Amino acid sequence: MLVGAVSPASASFGDLASVREILHARMSEENVEIVRRIYGAWGRRDFRAGTELFDAHTMLVLRPPLPEAGTYHGPEAISGYMRGFLETWDRAIIEGEDFIAAGDNVLVSVHQQATGTGSGAPVEMRYFQVWSFRGDTVLRLESISDRSDALEAAGLEE
């Protein structure tokens, strides 16, 4: 056993709480790195990145006033939304700029750029996404236009 390590047999409730906090913090940072890699792929237009983390109950939530606001349940519905989104735009790029660990959530400041397929008009948006994890599964991905609302959804305060 490592010096200073606590064996489960001799651990007090306080020690176990500390171990739990350390493991939770480590998972939070791992989730940030996972989400950072996904946005790296999205920045290269690989929009399939991250879908392996979805399960049958994963939800994509787009809050008003974002375009096509609504809730999409499960990988099929999320994929259908993304196909429709990508058909509307040429050269769509979605990049994460800031990443904040918040327990089982990761809050991302997002910069999205695209060009209209028919019009050729450039479009640029900034918004926030909250990724909610259970273990290594994404339970919910929520897009929110307002920073205060995004902080609240991630369980954070201003």
DSSP string, the chain: --TT---TTT--HHHHHHHHHHHHHHHHHHHHHHHHHHHHHHHTT-TTTTGGGEEEEEEEEE-TTSTT-EEEEHHHHHHHHHHHHHHHEEEEEEEEEEEEEETTEEEEEEEEEEEETTT--EEEEEEEEEEEEETTEEEEEEEES-HHHHHHHTT---
Tell me the domain boundaries of the chain: 13-153
**Which CATH code for domain 13-153?**
3.10.450.50
pLDDT of residue 27: 67
Instruction: Report the predicted TM-score, pTM, of the whole model to 2 decimal places.
Output: 0.83
* Digit-coded pLDDT (tens) for 7-54: 444 444 455 445 445 444 556 889 999 999 999 999 998 999 999 999
pLDDT of residue 147: 97
